[in-house]
Chains A and B, each alone.
Chain A
């Protein structure tokens, strides 16, 4: 480059970017307009957050919605309702009168649970809208004997109701409106416990489908009851523990939004608290309870930590700038970026998920970085004697380019999540990218407008006086071998030695990182995030230990056309499949498969009952017609029971299998075992498709690693290209990727070495690490490139780059380290790890950029003869 410096002081100062120079001029001239607009937009976002932001903290919000198992799950829910259930586990002497009486009282109260649920019945419409898919098409009747009434005509008939009779009470197809203001009713779809578990009894004259404790037993009946129940394999593990010390009430509610599930959870907690008694120790558990409990803990911990982290950053800013604008400016930028991001999410209908919880912390990294660089350069200019406004203009004009590029690369990193298969990660990427953009715009407009009110030096020492930071930067230059070298003649021996030592240390670090990375594993188990003794964790463990399990596999069964579930060959295949699944043993944990419930149970029970209760007939009826008859009989006696297991046309059914709680990856062999069984035992004209909570976890987690690699790959390619464009040099662009990647490799290696797994929670650490690493590199490299173009001397360019951005880089890193190490005080392990790893990333990124990168550049670029300007100077 041979253009003249706008300031005319060659080569003392690097050139100013004309675009950012213009922007700085506008901002200082219209500062009130800039401040007013920023505040107004933030207020609008605040309003959107208050009125429209939705929260979806279910594990399922992470689910790969287009995965096959998730689509099967949706089909399952369309026909059979909610697949996750609350479990109320009660410890005590089950077969004693006080226990059973209390159980009955609790069961009866839970059965009538009534909570005002706003999202009732919205699932289907929501789902259809969300998937941009037409509602499931009506399935044609199997050769109807008579012409069936058309659905449109039926809808018309019920619409007429509204006009003629129900008009003043709301549309007849909106039961929610009809129930508005009506007290009573229950949102419980299904409740099962020892009190009402189905009993198909053979009587001398026929069969009776009734409830286990109807009539309620007397003390004299208890020994017989105990013997009978504990001998019944369909009850042990379903509603009662094998030792007779635990029983469970299984509650299935209607579909509702996550916020309503939280309400139901708290209502259940209240009821449970009222029924607690000695010898009747109640615990509320199950997947919905786990979700609510886990999210509650996460939210509390994260918000507490966020406050502490902001406090720590505040103190650090105070230490560095000692001025209200210096301290509050960056924090206000971060807060406004976060508010605007959440506001955008609210406006476009993006829900807040467990992932987006991390957004404020993420934006803190980005916003603080941008602001601190600007403020540091501004302060350095003042320190050199510039007046406040010219100093500000110069700060914007020299930091504008690197701030723009750091934001661009961070946005690329986040937008690369569009290639992830999980919707929540895609949305988080979009929202994060938007937040980065807002933080950049605010750092370059709002913050300078605010800074125009400053007149002081912001705690900086006058020029010529070295502070500790200057000493530290010199130390870094020394370590990289730059300090001992004036860039002329052969490289002095000490400088060469130091540079080689530094490069060797860098290579060793890479070696360590690669080794650590080879130990990385995917392991997603939110229970391990909680310290032992956390009630939610203990409850799940007790449930697993004593009754069935918390997780489930659901099989969605479609019978051959016409015969459907009555098909004898299909039923025989299902029996073998059930036995195959039940026989599964996990390589480490042993048996993990609990009870299975399906239409097979109904057929066994009915067949036995039809043969006078003879246990020899506890099997499928022998002929096709006998199977049809047994189902017909059962349907007549217990149609609602059958509806939970099969659709009304008996074409489709479900098998629900309880599984003990493990980490997601450990379910992979089970999933393979189930699929092998399906291939082996299910006839070709039928279909059995597995789904359920473990499938949601397995498919979600199986995508994590590939998502991570794909997203990283994309981000790597794009960031490399951006680096080359920014640095206008292919070689330098490639070299710059080394300090970009090293901190990330170090962090992943550290995770592998420390046994910290890749899970849904810390997947994002990598993206934040990219953001931090690239930011430091860009600031350093940009100033190196500009100064090198200006001076043609590698050593001088490195020294000037270090002086220009080194101070800001150190300040930013200190603030981030303090802000994130505070997270080590969290109670949940995943949040502690998050803080530790981000803090260490910031430290490593700084050291690599200030020590290793100069040595690498120095080694890669040969000296050039000095440019004419420099010799002239």
Chain B
């Protein structure tokens, strides 16, 4: 799977440039080349925005969190800082993460808890687990090495919301990719115009579930295509298990006020 992650998540903080036509021809049938082009597209390196996360469980319970976010590319990978604005009982809690480009290196995360008055490093053994209770996993949020996947073009010209796409199947080629994502395979619909995925379907090994992700409300911000809304739903059998909606606002790129000093434990403890 091609860094769905980055796409999904990319949305938090960066986005694809509106120049895909230069990267690959719309009539290309080389699935790997298409995914590589998606992978390689330039992204905004300094971004900020506000995110509303809504999670709805199978009983219809809703839970909402609002997060302010900043992100920036560094030599070793991407750094991101998120600070919770609401609800009241998590206000001020912050999360700093480093997603290393080196796939062999575990990502780093620090959490700032106001009651401890200091940040704490955390790690979890299971990357296929849910990210903060959403329908997206940690693996969805971090980069994946294209060499760990096998791509097949299923349809040269599929349509999503009236937009022409490639439909590509991605199957983990290594145990690492399989265990980290927990996916048996994925289908990705890549917009030929925007060179970004419009929707994705993943076969989740644990529990034989299906995960659907839809990228919506795609608009250009500072010349970059950004999905302002991501919807993810996990379906098991005939029943949707849970649905996550991520809505982005106040997105901007290349911000001068996003600098190195923002992505430190000290800043985490001070807040955004």
Instruction: Please give, as numbers and ranges, the residues of chain B lying within 8 Å of A211 by CB-CB distance.
Output: 125
* B193 part of interface (Cβ distance < 8 Å): no
A625 to B233, CA, bound (A): 31
Shortest C-beta distance, A264 to chain B (Å), equals 13
User: Taking A175-B210, A184-B205, A633-B111 as contacts, is the C-beta distance between A164 and B62 under 8 angstroms?
Assistant: no
Contact across chains for B111 and A138 when beta carbons are under 8 A apart: no
A:601-637 near B, CB below 8 Å: 610, 621, 623, 625-626, 628-630, 632-633, 635-637
Shortest C-beta distance, B93 to chain A (Å), equals 6
Instruction: Please give, as numbers and ranges, the residues of chain A lying within 8 Å of B58 by CB-CB distance.
Output: 78, 124
A206 to B203, CA, bound (A): 34
Contact across chains for B60 and A136 when beta carbons are under 8 A apart: yes
A:724-741 near B, CB below 8 Å: none
Shortest C-beta distance, B120 to chain A (Å), equals 4
A:135-158 near B, CB below 8 Å: 136-146, 148-149, 151, 154, 157-158
* B31 part of interface (Cβ distance < 8 Å): no
Instruction: Please give, as numbers and ranges, the residues of chain B lying within 8 Å of A633 by CB-CB distance.
Output: 111, 113, 120, 122
Contact across chains for A206 and B130 when beta carbons are under 8 A apart: no
Q: Which residue of A112, A137, A563, A632 contacts B60 across the interface (Cβ within 8 Å)?
A: A137
* B243 part of interface (Cβ distance < 8 Å): yes
Instruction: Please give, as numbers and ranges, the residues of chain B lying within 8 Å of A182 by CB-CB distance.
Output: 184, 203
* A186 part of interface (Cβ distance < 8 Å): yes
Contact across chains for A643 and B159 when beta carbons are under 8 A apart: no
A357 to B110, CA, bound (A): 61
* A816 part of interface (Cβ distance < 8 Å): no
* A270 part of interface (Cβ distance < 8 Å): no
Interface segment among B39-47, B69-77, B83-91, B250-258: the answer is: B83-91
Shortest C-beta distance, A146 to chain B (Å), equals 5
* A208 part of interface (Cβ distance < 8 Å): yes
Contact across chains for A629 and B116 when beta carbons are under 8 A apart: yes
Contact across chains for A145 and B236 when beta carbons are under 8 A apart: no
* A534 part of interface (Cβ distance < 8 Å): no
**Chain B, 153-166, contact with A by CB distance < 8 Å: what is the 0/1 string?**
00000111100010
B:180-237 near A, CB below 8 Å: 184, 189, 199, 201, 203-210, 212, 214, 216, 231, 233, 235-237
Q: How large is the interface on A (under 10, 10 to 19, 20 to 34, 35 or more residues)?
A: 35 or more
* A93 part of interface (Cβ distance < 8 Å): no
B:111-150 near A, CB below 8 Å: 111, 113-116, 119-126, 129-133
Contact across chains for B208 and A145 when beta carbons are under 8 A apart: no
Contact across chains for B56 and A187 when beta carbons are under 8 A apart: no
Contact across chains for A165 and B245 when beta carbons are under 8 A apart: no
**Chain A, 618-662, contact with B by CB distance < 8 Å: what is the 0/1 string?**
000101011011101101111110110001111100000000000
Instruction: Please give, as numbers and ranges, the residues of chain B lying within 8 Å of A3 by CB-CB distance.
Output: none
- In the complex, the chain B residue whose C-beta lies closest to that of A639 is B130
Shortest C-beta distance, B222 to chain A (Å), equals 24
Contact across chains for A185 and B184 when beta carbons are under 8 A apart: yes
Interface segment among A166-174, A219-227, A509-517: the answer is: A166-174
User: Taking A188-B206, A640-B126 as contacts, is the C-beta distance between A632 and B61 under 8 angstroms?
Assistant: no
* B167 part of interface (Cβ distance < 8 Å): yes
Q: Which residue of A78, A137, A643, A651 contacts B133 across the interface (Cβ within 8 Å)?
A: A643
Contact across chains for A179 and B120 when beta carbons are under 8 A apart: no
* A13 part of interface (Cβ distance < 8 Å): no
Contact across chains for A178 and B210 when beta carbons are under 8 A apart: yes
**Chain A, 203-233, contact with B by CB distance < 8 Å: what is the 0/1 string?**
1011111110010000000000000000000
A178 to B120, CA, bound (A): 42
Contact across chains for A206 and B64 when beta carbons are under 8 A apart: no
Q: Which residue of A121, A157, A166 contacts B238 across the interface (Cβ within 8 Å)?
A: A121
Contact across chains for B57 and A648 when beta carbons are under 8 A apart: yes
Instruction: Please give, as numbers and ranges, the residues of chain A lying within 8 Å of B13 by CB-CB distance.
Output: none
Contact across chains for B123 and A173 when beta carbons are under 8 A apart: no
Instruction: Please give, as numbers and ranges, the residues of chain B lying within 8 Å of A630 by CB-CB distance.
Output: 113
* A283 part of interface (Cβ distance < 8 Å): no
* B271 part of interface (Cβ distance < 8 Å): no
* B10 part of interface (Cβ distance < 8 Å): no
Q: Which residue of B89, B124, B160 contacts A625 across the interface (Cβ within 8 Å)?
A: B89
Shortest C-beta distance, A716 to chain B (Å), equals 46
Contact across chains for B214 and A157 when beta carbons are under 8 A apart: yes
* B2 part of interface (Cβ distance < 8 Å): no
Contact across chains for A636 and B132 when beta carbons are under 8 A apart: yes
Instruction: Please give, as numbers and ranges, the residues of chain A lying within 8 Å of B26 by CB-CB distance.
Output: none
A:373-396 near B, CB below 8 Å: none
A739 to B46, CA, bound (A): 94
Instruction: Please give, as numbers and ranges, the residues of chain A lying within 8 Å of B133 by CB-CB distance.
Output: 635, 639, 642-643, 648
User: Taking A157-B214, A165-B199, A206-B121 as contacts, is the C-beta distance between A174 and B207 under 8 angstroms?
Assistant: no
Contact across chains for B207 and A185 when beta carbons are under 8 A apart: yes
* A254 part of interface (Cβ distance < 8 Å): yes
User: Taking A632-B93, A649-B63 as contacts, is the C-beta distance between A176 and B125 under 8 angstroms?
Assistant: no
Q: Which residue of B122, B126, B199 contacts A161 across the interface (Cβ within 8 Å)?
A: B199
- In the complex, the chain B residue whose C-beta lies closest to that of A79 is B59
* B1 part of interface (Cβ distance < 8 Å): no
Q: Which residue of B54, B85, B167, B207 contacts A148 across the interface (Cβ within 8 Å)?
A: B54
Instruction: Please give, as numbers and ranges, the residues of chain B lying within 8 Å of A161 by CB-CB distance.
Output: 199, 212, 214
Residue from A137, A165, A173 with most neighbouring chain B CB atoms (10 Å): A165
* B66 part of interface (Cβ distance < 8 Å): yes
* A122 part of interface (Cβ distance < 8 Å): yes
A563 to B87, CA, bound (A): 11
Shortest C-beta distance, A814 to chain B (Å), equals 54
Q: Which residue of A145, A254, A623 contacts B207 across the interface (Cβ within 8 Å)?
A: A254
Contact across chains for A209 and B60 when beta carbons are under 8 A apart: no
- In the complex, the chain A residue whose C-beta lies closest to that of B249 is A146
* A524 part of interface (Cβ distance < 8 Å): no
User: Taking A136-B60, A141-B62 as contacts, is the C-beta distance between A175 and B235 under 8 angstroms?
Assistant: yes
Contact across chains for B238 and A186 when beta carbons are under 8 A apart: no
User: Taking A187-B208, A647-B61 as contacts, is the C-beta distance between A638 and B116 under 8 angstroms?
Assistant: no
* B95 part of interface (Cβ distance < 8 Å): yes
Shortest C-beta distance, B110 to chain A (Å), equals 7
Contact across chains for B214 and A120 when beta carbons are under 8 A apart: no
Q: Which residue of B61, B159, B209 contacts A175 across the interface (Cβ within 8 Å)?
A: B209
Instruction: Please give, as numbers and ranges, the residues of chain B lying within 8 Å of A635 by CB-CB distance.
Output: 132-133
* A470 part of interface (Cβ distance < 8 Å): no
Contact across chains for B66 and A145 when beta carbons are under 8 A apart: yes
Contact across chains for B231 and A121 when beta carbons are under 8 A apart: no
- In the complex, the chain A residue whose C-beta lies closest to that of B243 is A154
Instruction: Please give, as numbers and ranges, the residues of chain A lying within 8 Å of B203 by CB-CB distance.
Output: 178-179, 182, 184-185
* A281 part of interface (Cβ distance < 8 Å): no
Q: Which residue of A157, A185, A636 contacts B231 across the interface (Cβ within 8 Å)?
A: A157
Instruction: Please give, as numbers and ranges, the residues of chain B lying within 8 Å of A637 by CB-CB distance.
Output: 122-124
Residue from A112, A173, A182 with most neighbouring chain B CB atoms (10 Å): A173
Instruction: Please give, as numbers and ranges, the residues of chain A lying within 8 Å of B158 by CB-CB distance.
Output: 165
A114 to B206, CA, bound (A): 10
Q: Which residues of B contact A (CB under 8 A)?
A: 52, 54-64, 66, 85-87, 89-90, 93, 95, 109-111, 113-116, 119-126, 129-133, 158-161, 165, 167, 184, 189, 199, 201, 203-210, 212, 214, 216, 231, 233, 235-240, 242-243, 245, 247
Known: A154-B233, A649-B57. 13 other contacts (CB 8 A): A122-B237, A145-B66, A146-B247, A149-B247, A157-B231, A178-B203, A186-B206, A186-B208, A254-B236, A625-B89, A633-B111, A636-B109, A651-B61
Closest 7 CB pairs of A and B: A121-B237, A138-B60, A206-B121, A206-B120, A185-B208, A141-B62, A629-B113
23 CB-based A-B contacts, threshold 8 Å:
A79-B57, A120-B237, A125-B238, A137-B60, A148-B62, A154-B243, A158-B212, A161-B212, A175-B209, A175-B210, A179-B203, A182-B184, A184-B205, A185-B184, A185-B203, A186-B205, A188-B207, A189-B207, A209-B122, A254-B237, A610-B120, A636-B111, A637-B124
Q: Which residues of A contact B (CB under 8 A)?
A: 78-79, 112, 114, 120-122, 124-125, 136-146, 148-149, 151, 154, 157-158, 160-161, 164-166, 172-176, 178-179, 182, 184-189, 203, 205-211, 214, 254, 563, 566, 610, 621, 623, 625-626, 628-630, 632-633, 635-640, 642-643, 647-651
